[in-house]
Amino acid sequence: MIFSKTFKTILPTVLAVSCLGFFIEKPEYPVSGLSPSHTAQEKWESRVFGPTLKGTEVTKVPMRAGARDQVAKILSNYKTGLRPGFKDQLPELIIKESNKYGYDPFLLTALIITESSVNNWARSRRGAMGLMQIRPHTAVAMAKETQQQWKGKPTLFDPGVNIALGAYYLNKLINRFGDLRLALEAYNHGPTKLSSYLRKGKKPTEYSKRVIDQYEMIRPQPI
C-alpha cells in the first residue's frame, strides 16, 4: 500500500474535524463503496484499508514491499512472552489477516500494541485475553462464525487464533458502524455500549485516537 505525501498535510485537518463530531451524521467509510465526492476522511481510510468496497467484492492493493521485516522490527521492541519460534511467526500472522480484510498491517500491529503491548499472555480486569484482548464470550461467537476450533479460554493464548478472531471482529464492527474510528471505539467499549453512547449524542474518541496515533508512529513514512 502506498501512502501519498499529501497525507501528511491533510491529517491534522481530518483529526480536528473528526474530534468536533462533524462525521457523526454521515459515515466516513461507507460499506457500499466510496462515493465519487470523497471526503478527506474517506481518502484517509481508503489508504489505511487499501480496498475499495464494491458490493461484496473487495479489491486489495498490493502489500507494501518489505512489510514483513518492518513489522518484525517493530515487534522486536516488545516482550511477547513467546518462545522465539512462535514470536517469529507473528509478522506473518498479522500480514495474513491484514491481507484477508484489506488492512494496512501496521494498523493491525498498532491495535495489538495498544491492546496488549504485544504480550501474548495479557489478561485484563474485564477478562479480555491475549494479543488482541478478546473476551471469551465474544471469542466463542467469533470462532463459530469463522469456523475456528474452540477449546475453551486457553484458545485465546494461541496467537494465530487470537489475531484471526480479532481481525475478523474489527472487520465486523467496521461493517456495522461504517466508520473506522467508531469501530475501534466499539472494539474497546463493546458495540452495545457504543450504540448507547451514540443514541445519547456522545461519541467517544479517546481509544481510537490512541490506536491511530500509534499507527502514525510505527508506519513507514513515504519517501
Helices (H), 24-89: 40-49, 67-75, 84-87
* C-alpha span between 72 and 36 (Å, rounded): 37
Q: Which residue out of 115, 145, 185, 216 is catalytically annotated?
A: 115
d(CA 28, CA 92): 30
Q: Which residues pair with 134 in a beta bridge?
A: 129
Active site residue 115: yes
Per-residue burial over 24-44, b = 16 or more CB atoms within 10 Å of its CB, e = otherwise: eeebbbeeeebeeeebbbbbb
**DSSP state, 61?**
P
The vertex-111 CA angle with 191 and 9, nearest 5°, equals: 105
Which residues are known to be catalytic?
115
